[in-house]
Amino acid sequence: MNDTTDADSGDTPGDRARHGVPLDGALERLGTAALVLDQGGLVVAANEEARGLLDRGLEDLLGQDFHDMLHRDENGNPVPRLRCPMRNAVLRKDTRHGDAEWFARGDGTLFQSCWLVTPYASDENTAGALVLLYESPQPDEPQPGEDERSGGLTELDRLALLAETTTQLTSTLDVDEALHRLAALTIPRLADWAVVDLLMERDEVRRALVVEHKGGILVERDDLQGPMPPVTADSPMPLSRALRGTASSLAGPSTYQGPPDSGLAVEQQRLFTATGMHSAAIAPIRGLRDVLGALTLGRAPHRDPFTLADLPLLEDLTRRTGLALDNARLYQRQRKVAETMQRHLLPQLPTVRGLEMTARYLPSPDASSVGGDWYDAFTLSDDSHALVIGDVVGHDLDAAAGMAQVRNMLRAFVWSRPTAAPSAVVTQLDEAVMHIAEVPMVTMILGRLTLGDDGLWHLHWTNAGHPPPLLVTHDGQVQYLNDAHGMLLGTEVDRPRPHAVTVLPPRSTLLLYTDGLVESPHRPIDHGLSRLCRHAASLAHRNLDSLCDALLERVRPDDNDDDVAMLALRTPFSTRT
């Protein structure tokens, strides 16, 4: 983030992070480690408890990125930025909490801690976040006469469980991950077994998860999972009623001892026999519009059976589960649409005698798996080919739709004017974008690759506000093609577009890419361009597919949530191939 000067104080956010801000007296007296972060995640204050817990002086904490300095996995490795719920909560100004994260002390040792992140303003000019680190509370021993519902949970315990369920389930958009989190929340706190049955397309039923608490850990029973018989419309059995959304109910082995009224009842007999559950509570999982499935919690013989008083808590859990599954399924449907759309939008590369050509598209991890980045290549004649890399502003389906408009118009313009200078074609495209296409702004490179009389490939190109092409020779020399750099499309600025020509040496690699490969929200783009140069030079000897895969792995910043498109080609060894 760029530092901007505060109108009242004259300080920048960077100054406040480096020099700190006064800590509220209540936080200094708090018996829990508390750190105040600015809006970018830099530490601006820390109380005595935090300094002691982290074994770091205030001067060591101020101005440091909280995530990079402290957050680790169980092996002591830094947690990837995009996978850090704490960092995401800070940047999005959310309130989140979690358990059992690992953090690094000043001496390098690790410790586990629960955490809470919430928006916080240390003064009227400093908006950021408050981070609390605290030990996991140990459950109290139940006292005689204490509320025995839900396995001895107190009212406070139940409220905490529901809050934790909301946090855990709404922080993932993966159905399987959400179900495993639900099992971890309920076992062994409420039960010894958790079983989830889901209604799939065409009213088919799938036993998606069966988990037991065994030897102090959760064990998934694959042998009890899989497809299930359909739900019958008139069965009075508990699971059938739950899957129809009728009611929650209790069940046990005796419930299914009589002649089964459906194939679902046969599977339930098998479940009780295989698990040894003596008591179960079953509730429907309802989404906003439909019943999505059912949750069964079961107890082994050493625990008291469920009672009717346990059902309200179970129903609260399944309501939250239903909302989370609704969101996850909606996201997955959107993602499937996006992936299908993207597959149709990205072209098949032409086969060009004597040239190697390959492309890559990597969707954004945080968007709907589609965006405005695209590549294109097509043949104009035996010795002339068009190359395109571009980026329509945006990371969603609107950007993808706009990209399709721009790509198709550009193809038509290039095809109708195969010998025109790329700068002239892009000028025509810019006029069309402003009057026809429903896109904000576009960056792109249009190149025409021609085979010269000297037997070498010549690149004619123009650049409309896009990161420059990279030329890599076989011996590892690298050069950005910075000529022909003009304004991006859609600005309504009437300026002549530059044009350039360069000769591609034998066995050289030309790389066109979008800014997601090199741009980071926390570093200047020059840093990413320099990294790309160094890695491309070191990989020059690799085959083209291996080079592209390695560049995506090594160069793309961990904290970048943009999509990436790449188009690479390699010229032949012989000038007359």
Q: What is the pLDDT of residue 576?
A: 53
Residues 326 and 179 both lie in one domain: yes
Spatial distance between the Cα atoms of 152 and 143, rounded to a whole number of angstroms: 9
* Structural domain that includes position 258: 149-333
Q: What is the pLDDT of residue 574?
A: 64
pLDDT of residue 369 exceeding 70, the answer is no
What value does the mean pLDDT take over residues 481-492?
91
| Identity of the amino acid at 192 | D
Q: What is the pLDDT of residue 122?
A: 61
Spatial distance between the Cα atoms of 497 and 510, rounded to a whole number of angstroms: 22
How many C-beta atoms lie closer than 10 Å to residue 388's C-beta? 23
Residues 214 and 299 both lie in one domain: yes
Beta strands per DSSP E along 60-169: 71-72, 96-104, 110-123, 126-134
Structural domain contains residue 577: no
What is the pLDDT confidence band of residue 20, given thresholds at 50, 70 and 90? low
What is the per-residue burial (b if ≥16 Cβ within 10 Å, else e) of 277-291?
bbbbbbbbbbbeeeb
Structural domain contains residue 126: yes
Spatial distance between the Cα atoms of 309 and 250, rounded to a whole number of angstroms: 11
What is the pLDDT confidence band of residue 562, given thresholds at 50, 70 and 90? confident
Structural domain contains residue 200: yes
- Model pLDDT for residues 469-480, shown as the tens digit of each residue: 999 999 999 999
Instruction: Give me the CATH number covering residue 178.
Output: 3.30.450.40
> Tokens in use for 542?
């690799």
Query: If you count DSSP H runs as helices and E runs as strands, how many of each does the chain have, helices first?
Result: 16, 24
Structural domain contains residue 95: yes
Structural domain contains residue 561: yes
> Tokens in use for 322?
């239903």
Q: Please, are residues 267 and 229 in contact by the beta-carbon 8 Å criterion?
A: yes
Residues 213 and 304 both lie in one domain: yes
Which residue reads 């990837």 in tokens? 80
What value does the mean pLDDT take over residues 513-533?
91
Q: What is the dihedral of CA 64, 65, 71, 77, to 10 degrees?
A: -90
pLDDT of residue 6 exceeding 70, the answer is no
| Identity of the amino acid at 552 | L
| Identity of the amino acid at 453 | D
378 class by beta-carbon count within 10 Å (0-12 exposed, 13-18 middle, 19+ buried): middle
Q: What is the pLDDT of residue 150?
A: 47
Q: Distance of CA 152 to CAs 157, 189, 386, Å?
A: 9, 9, 71
Least confident window among 220-224, 457-461, 531-535: 220-224
473 class by beta-carbon count within 10 Å (0-12 exposed, 13-18 middle, 19+ buried): middle
DSSP-derived secondary structure letter, 190: T
How many C-beta atoms lie closer than 10 Å to residue 429's C-beta? 22
- Model pLDDT for residues 213-264, shown as the tens digit of each residue: 887 888 889 889 999 999 888 888 989 989 998 888 998 888 888 788 888 8
Spatial distance between the Cα atoms of 308 and 489, rounded to a whole number of angstroms: 66
pLDDT of residue 300 exceeding 80, the answer is yes
Query: Which strands form 33-38's sheet, in the order they lie side by side?
Result: 43-46, 33-38, 126-134, 110-123, 96-104, 71-72
State what percent of residues in the chain have pLDDT above 90.
Answer: 36
Residues 113 and 204 both lie in one domain: no
What value does the mean pLDDT take over residues 378-401?
85
DSSP-derived secondary structure letter, 502: E
How far, rounded to the nearest angstrom, does the alpha carbon of residue 315 sit from its chain's CA centroid? 30
What pTM was computed for the model?
A: 0.52
How far, rounded to the nearest angstrom, does the alpha carbon of residue 357 sit from its chain's CA centroid? 30
Residues 53 and 154 both lie in one domain: no
- Model pLDDT for residues 99-144, shown as the tens digit of each residue: 778 899 998 888 888 888 888 876 555 678 888 888 765 544 444 4
Q: Which residue, among 425, 426, 412, 399, has the nearest Cα to 345 in the 3D structure?
A: 399
Q: What is the pLDDT of residue 512?
A: 97
Q: Please, are residues 322 and 287 in contact by the beta-carbon 8 Å criterion?
A: yes
Roughly how many angstroms between the first and final C-alpha of the chain, as a whole number?
50
Structural domain contains residue 7: no
Q: What is the dihedral of CA 254, 255, 260, 261, to 10 degrees?
A: 160
pLDDT of residue 468 exceeding 90, the answer is yes
Residue finishing a domain among 333, 361, 388 = 333
How many C-beta atoms lie closer than 10 Å to residue 36's C-beta? 26
Q: Which residue, among 161, 160, 169, 228, has the nearest Cα to 195 in the 3D structure?
A: 228
Residues 27 and 118 both lie in one domain: yes
Residues 166 and 218 both lie in one domain: yes
Residues 441 and 532 both lie in one domain: yes
Residue finishing a domain among 134, 162, 194 = 134
Residues 387 and 491 both lie in one domain: yes
Structural domain contains residue 3: no
Which residue reads 């570093």 in tokens? 523
Q: Please, are residues 397 and 368 in contact by the beta-carbon 8 Å criterion?
A: yes
What value does the mean pLDDT take over residues 509-523?
91
- Model pLDDT for residues 24-77, shown as the tens digit of each residue: 666 777 778 888 988 888 998 889 989 989 999 988 899 899 999 999 888 888
Q: What is the dihedral of CA 517, 523, 528, 534, to 10 degrees?
A: -140
Select the more confidently predicted residue: 430 or 157. 430
Report helix, strand or coil for 61. Answer: helix
Q: Please, are residues 39 and 16 in contact by the beta-carbon 8 Å criterion?
A: no
Q: Please, are residues 128 and 120 in contact by the beta-carbon 8 Å criterion?
A: yes
Q: Which residue, among 418, 424, 525, 419, has the nearest Cα to 484 in the 3D structure?
A: 424
Question: What is the bridge-based pairing of β-strands 71-72 and 96-104?
Answer: antiparallel
Select the more confidently predicted residue: 378 or 397. 378
Q: What is the pLDDT of residue 3?
A: 45
Q: Please, are residues 165 and 182 in contact by the beta-carbon 8 Å criterion?
A: yes
Residues 120 and 220 both lie in one domain: no
Residues 270 and 297 both lie in one domain: yes
Q: What is the mean pLDDT of the chain?
A: 84
Residue 566: which residues within 8 A CB-CB, separation 6 or more? 359, 360, 361, 375, 389, 511, 512, 513, 514, 517, 548, 551, 552
What value does the mean pLDDT take over residues 159-179?
82
Q: Please, are residues 493 and 487 in contact by the beta-carbon 8 Å criterion?
A: yes
Structural domain contains residue 339: no
> Tokens in use for 469?
């092409």
Spatial distance between the Cα atoms of 83 and 101, rounded to a whole number of angstroms: 12
Instruction: Give me the CATH number covering residue 64.
Output: 3.30.450.20
Residues 539 and 428 both lie in one domain: yes
> Phi, psi at residue 369, to the nearest 5°?
65, 25
Q: Distance of CA 341 to CAs 330, 347, 366, 433, Å?
A: 16, 12, 17, 21
What value does the mean pLDDT take over residues 291-305?
89
Least confident window among 218-232, 369-383, 468-482, 537-551: 369-383
Domain count, the chain: 3
Q: What is the pLDDT of residue 125?
A: 52
DSSP-derived secondary structure letter, 560: -
How many C-beta atoms lie closer than 10 Å to residue 358's C-beta? 17
Which residue reads 């290039």 in tokens? 414
Q: Distance of CA 571 to CAs 139, 459, 505, Å?
A: 68, 11, 7
- Model pLDDT for residues 312-355, shown as the tens digit of each residue: 888 888 888 888 888 888 777 776 666 666 666 678 899 988 89
- Model pLDDT for residues 413-441, shown as the tens digit of each residue: 999 999 999 999 999 999 998 888 777 88
pLDDT of residue 210 exceeding 80, the answer is yes
Instruction: Give me the CATH number covering residue 448.
Output: 3.60.40.10
